[in-house]
Amino acid sequence: MEDDPQLERKERIWTLPTALTLARVAAIPAFVALWYSPAPWAPAAATWLLLAASVTDFLDGYLARKLNVASEFGAFLDPVADKLMVSTALVLLSTAPIVAGRLAGDALLCPLAAAAIYFAALWPYMAGRRSCR
């Protein structure tokens, strides 16, 4: 029973890098809640949560390579988690106006967010093609 390949495969899916990636996905609802929270500390907390997600994005790839625990599930989930977090941030930027600074208001942010999401989805497809004929 110990030589069962299915059991061995299950054990390799749950690694520290995969847990970090899943934590990044799980942080999305908290990020949205902080974004819309009226608490005076909420914008800073949302910023720190997004920065922590960025650090874990670097850290999960680094640890997977360093500890030699890369998995197919982790390789699939990491770009999905990245796109979910970035898309959430872009949608939030386009739905709630920035109240100060050069980007006050959200007149430009909606088209910019749409373009960023479009190119984030299109880029891997175009990178896989050899030529654009």
- Answer yes or no: is 4 within a domain: no
The answer to whether residue 109 sits within a structural domain is no
Angle at 81 between CA 124 and CA 42, to 5 degrees: 130
Owning domain of residue 62:
15-94
Residue 85 falls within a domain, yes or no? yes
pTM for this predicted structure: 0.68
Determine, yes or no, domain membership for 57.
yes
- What is the number of residues in the chain? 133
Residue 77 maps to a domain: yes
Q: What does the pLDDT read at residue 133?
A: 46
- Counting the structural domains of the chain, the total is 1
pLDDT score, position 92: 83
Structure confidence at residue 75 (pLDDT): 83
Whole-Å CA distances, 23 to 4, 19, 54, 98: 29, 6, 12, 27
Q: SS3 of 133, please?
A: coil
Residues 6+ apart with CB under 8 A from 126: 132
Whether 87 is in a domain gets the answer: yes
Regions in the chain scoring below 50 on pLDDT: 1, 9, 131-133
- Confidence at residue 106, expressed as pLDDT on a 0 to 100 scale: 54
Question: Residue 51 falls within a domain, yes or no?
Answer: yes
pLDDT for residue 96? 66
Position 65 scores a pLDDT of 87
| The pLDDT value given to residue 3 | 57
Q: Is residue 128 part of a domain?
A: no
Share of the chain residues as helix, strand and coil, in percent rounded to the nearest 5: 75, 0, 25
